[in-house]
């Protein structure tokens, strides 16, 4: 069917983008100063040992060949070994992935469950107190640094009130504050997008047509205005996921969650290049796949989108 064809086509289109991303990141990270072999073995290592390790890591080959070899291994699930702690990067990544996945999942769920209904209320009560309050708070949420909000929430709910665990993982309760921290920005984005586009819809000619038919205001909003105004919100979901992924680093640092964000942060801080390389490539792939899913949802909702063209 055309849907299957469309998905296959989009997956194929993802390949060159992934090649581009991995090549770019590989080249940028290869600029890192210093000799990895010397870094691993320490300052007083023997030159022979360093040379042997260079050979082992393939550091003596030309850059593009090294990239090719790296990608070949990566396709087989091998993203190399940490320079300093000698563990397998890919297995550590996938070991930590579930924590980050649930975090991002819950954050996105919050952004939909909270953001969209509140945005609808603001649009329906346009220019009334409820609208002003919602608009102001969404602006505030967009403007505050996530890690700061997280810290304050931690201080209030965990330390002062003792309602929720302050750090680590283990239960759903552990995820509530981190997910709200990570999702704060995207909750605000969903509120604003919903409000803006629903208002746009409510003022459109086709909603006037619906009113002229004698439909109830509730039906006009739900049946006519909302479906159209949800389209931009759906488009935004892919971007929201990417924003979540960017937010993992700070959120996981605040709440001491052993996920991908803290993994990358460690990698960047210690200049453990394989960690950074592996994480960025896989996250980019995940963002690409999420965008594909979002586009498929969009195509299902909007009849104007023709698959395959």
Smallest gap from residue 23 Cβ to another protein (A): 8
Pick 113 or 152: Cβ nearer another protein: 152
Q: Is 290 in the site for another protein (CB under 8 A)?
A: no
Q: Are 210 and 224 in contact (CB under 8 A)?
A: yes
Stretch of 85-93, 110-118, 167-175, 283-291 lying at the interface with another protein (CB under 8 A):
283-291
Q: Which residue has the tokens 């330390």?
A: 159
Q: Which of 104, 276, 278, 294 binds another protein (CB under 8 A)?
A: 276
Q: Beta partners for 81?
A: 88
Cα dihedral sign, 22-271-93-87:
positive
Q: Is 203 in the site for another protein (CB under 8 A)?
A: yes
Distance separating alpha carbons of residues 264 and 93, to the nearest angstrom: 10
Q: Which residue has the tokens 């990544």?
A: 93
**Cα separations (Å) of 186 from 56, 191, 197, 229, 237?**
45, 8, 16, 17, 9
Q: Which two tokens stand for residue 275?
A: 């960690």
Q: Which residue has the tokens 């990067």?
A: 89
Smallest gap from residue 52 Cβ to another protein (A): 25
Q: Is 9 in the site for another protein (CB under 8 A)?
A: no
Q: Is 228 in the site for another protein (CB under 8 A)?
A: yes
Torsion of CA 128, 134, 140, 146, to 10 degrees: 180
Q: Is 126 in the site for another protein (CB under 8 A)?
A: yes
Stretch of 1-9, 25-33, 58-66, 93-101 lying at the interface with another protein (CB under 8 A):
25-33
Q: Is 216 in the site for another protein (CB under 8 A)?
A: yes
Q: Which of 127, 161, 218, 308 binds another protein (CB under 8 A)?
A: 127
Q: Which of 155, 173, 256, 300 binds another protein (CB under 8 A)?
A: 155
- Residue in 219, 232, 222, 224 with CA at minimum distance from that of residue 205: 224
Stretch of 42-50, 57-65, 83-91, 246-254 lying at the interface with another protein (CB under 8 A):
246-254
């Amino acid at each position: 069917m055309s849907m299957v064809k469309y998905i296959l086509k989009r997956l194929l289109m993802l390949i060159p983008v992934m090649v581009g991303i991995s090549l770019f990141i590989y080249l940028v990270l290869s600029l890192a100063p210093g000799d990895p072999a010397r870094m691993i073995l320490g300052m007083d290592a023997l030159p022979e040992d360093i040379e042997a390790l260079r050979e082992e890591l393939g550091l003596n080959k030309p850059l593009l060949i090294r990239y090719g070899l790296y990608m070949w291994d990566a396709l087989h699930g091998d993203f190399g070994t940490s320079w300093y702690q000698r563990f397998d990067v890919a297995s550590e990544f996938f070991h930590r992935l579930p924590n980050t996945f649930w975090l991002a999942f819950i954050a996105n769920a919050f952004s939909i469950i909270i953001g969209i209904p509140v945005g609808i209320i603001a649009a329906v009560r346009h220019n009334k107190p409820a609208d002003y309050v919602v608009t102001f708070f969404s602006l505030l949420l967009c403007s505050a640094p996530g890690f700061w909000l997280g810290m304050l929430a931690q201080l209030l709910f965990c330390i002062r009130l003792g309602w929720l665990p302050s750090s680590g993982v283990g239960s759903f309760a552990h995820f509530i504050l981190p997910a709200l921290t990570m999702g704060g920005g995207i909750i605000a984005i969903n509120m604003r997008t919903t409000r803006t586009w629903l208002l746009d819809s409510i003022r459109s000619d086709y909603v006037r047509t619906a009113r002229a038919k004698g439909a109830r205001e509730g039906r006009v909003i739900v049946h006519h205005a909302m479906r159209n105004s949800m389209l931009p919100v759906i488009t935004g979901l892919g971007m929201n996921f990417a924003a979540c992924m960017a937010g993992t680093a700070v959120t996981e640092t605040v709440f001491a969650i052993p996920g991908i964000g803290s993994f990358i942060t460690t990698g960047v801080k210690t200049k453990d290049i394989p960690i950074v390389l592996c994480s960025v490539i896989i996250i980019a792939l995940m963002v690409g796949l999420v965008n594909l899913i979002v586009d498929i949802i969009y195509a299902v909702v909007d009849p104007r989108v023709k698959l395959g063209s």
